[in-house]
Structure 1
Amino acid sequence: MGFLKRILRSNTAEESGSTFTPGSFEALTEEELQTHMGIDCYGAFELTGAIRPSYDLQVVPRQGFRFDEYVDDSSQTRTPVIMAATTRHRIMDLFLDLIDRLGPVVDVVLETSHHFSGHHQDLYREHIDVPVLKSILLDHEDLLLNDGCTGIAVINPSRRQEVQLDEHKLLIMYGRPLEQFERTLIASDVYPDEGIRFITEAEHVHSSSEAFFDRFNKLKHRLGMDSEDLSGCC
């Protein structure tokens, strides 16, 4: 999971729970930082609490999607990808709609980078009914939208297809065919934009907290992942 992510982290602000990338954030005063973190709208595009762009706005967040390609380093296998960004109030409904395109039974991967310095750990759950999964996800909507250290992927291994809601709250779909995902995006007013740049493609800041880590553990429990060892993260 997370094959397209470019995560830049250097240090952690313990009081806020935020993890900062180097560059434009280094010279900010506390007041400037708090002001920047408080900006959640860029035009009509509303961010979640999980992520903020660079202070100098190397990338201005906007809604849209583009086609991409993932190339496996070892096998050189090429997998078609759609990457999408959408405003906050559409993310969860759209994610659930995209999951529906994977079939009635799926596998789930939870990604955590809580207390990891620039690294993450993936927790796997096989064979869960989609209606059950969607109910659990809705119960943890606040965590999934606003925690910059939590990501999730839903997979149909037999179809070799996957839908991700990653730590940056981007929606990433991969595996043939992509047309059903494309139609779902357009039906939600998320349109193709080959020139779009995503927040991952420049300096950015993730935000999390111990409270979100506690909620992550509750989601992990609901998904039956308690046997997975996270002892190395604390």
Structure 2
Amino acid sequence: MNADPLAAHLCVNRYGDFTLTDAIRPALDVPVRPREGYRIEIFRDRTNRFRLPMLSAAVSSERLFDTFLALLEPLGDLVHVVLESSHGTGADRHTDLRRNQIDRPVLESHFCEFEDLLMNDGCTGIAVLGARRPIEVQFDEHKLLYVYAPDLRPFQRVLKKAGVRRRKSLALIAEAEHLHHSTDEREDQFKQLCLRVGVGDFDRVFSDESFS
């Protein structure tokens, strides 16, 4: 691949009214043109014969982080959190690090402290689960938002307030060829976030001497 067209492509972060974070770019031929919106479908786990309503959303970067925090409110004040990392592994697989039962306001304060990492690192993702309700909100490494819940209406109201409209058809950047971006500094920041949140199995997964 010629480096000059690719370098120019990676500098493009705006498609119409939609602005990408630094974490992700579509492939050079832009197989999916990023746009804002959300769609609703049914998540099916055929192995366990499990079905659950699912919401998938793409939100322009200037409203993305605030929208993510607003989507956490319906989970209640006590939540579980999973920090997801694909640093050093390739984006096709990742490591999950979990912390059970943390106060949501405390967790949100940690997220705010590491906002730059969560927004702009293409190898960092988050899942927040209700401790008392079967609800999960994901802010994944593609900087897309996903919600799994029996009742999606509270989350639809959040998106409506943020100006994000429902679309019958919405292709997402993760569903076609794309490029992730991360740095060694971002990986170090992820480790700091893990320590701050207090996720389990941190020492087993990350053996960096500077964090021993």
Q: TM-score, normalised by structure 2?
A: 0.94
Match of 1:49 among 13, 22, 43: 22
CA distance in 2 between partners of 1:41 and 1:156 (Å): 34
Change in CA separation of 1:232 and 1:197 when aligned onto 2, cut-off 3 Å: farther
- Alignment-derived partner of residue 70 in structure 2: 97
The CA deviation string for residues 54-80 of structure 1, in whole angstroms up to 9 with x for no partner, is: 211111000000002221142121111
Q: Secondary structure at the match of 1:191?
A: coil
**Alpha-carbon contact 2:15-2:35 (below 8 Å) kept:** yes
CA distance in 2 between partners of 1:226 and 1:102 (Å): 22
Q: Which amino acid aligns with 1:205?
A: L
Q: Over aligned residue pairs, what C-alpha RMSD do you find?
A: 1.4
CA distance in 1 between partners of 2:207 and 2:31 (Å): 34
Shift of residue 100, structure 1, vs aligned partner: 1.0
1:196 paired with 2:170, answer: yes
Instruction: After TM superposition, list the pairs within 5 Å mapping 1:141-152 onto structure 2.
Output: 141-152=115-126
* Count of residues paired in the alignment: 206
Shift of residue 158, structure 1, vs aligned partner: 2.9
1:127 paired with 2:101, answer: yes
The CA deviation string for residues 83-133 of structure 1, in whole angstroms up to 9 with x for no partner, is: 000100111100100111110110000000001133111000011111111
Q: Which amino acid aligns with 1:43?
A: G
Instruction: After TM superposition, list the pairs within 5 Å mapping 1:168-183 onto structure 2.
Output: 168-183=142-157
Match of 2:52 among 79, 83, 91: 79
Q: Which amino acid aligns with 2:173?
A: I
CA distance in 2 between partners of 1:225 and 1:173 (Å): 22
Aligned identity (percent) is 42
1:155 paired with 2:163, answer: no
Runs of at least 5 residues in structure 1 that lack an aligned partner in the other structure: 1-27
Q: Which amino acid aligns with 2:192?
A: K
Runs of 4+ in 1 over 3 A off after TM superposition: none
1:230 paired with 2:205, answer: yes
CA distance in 2 between partners of 1:105 and 1:182 (Å): 21
Shift of residue 157, structure 1, vs aligned partner: 4.0
CA distance in 2 between partners of 1:163 and 1:226 (Å): 20
Q: Which amino acid aligns with 2:33?
A: V
Shift of residue 164, structure 1, vs aligned partner: 0.7
Q: TM-score, normalised by structure 1?
A: 0.85
CA distance in 1 between partners of 2:201 and 2:55 (Å): 33
Runs of at least 5 residues in structure 2 that lack an aligned partner in the other structure: none
**Alpha-carbon contact 2:24-2:179 (below 8 Å) kept:** yes
Shift of residue 226, structure 1, vs aligned partner: 5.9
- Alignment-derived partner of residue 219 in structure 1: 193
Q: Secondary structure at the match of 1:82?
A: strand
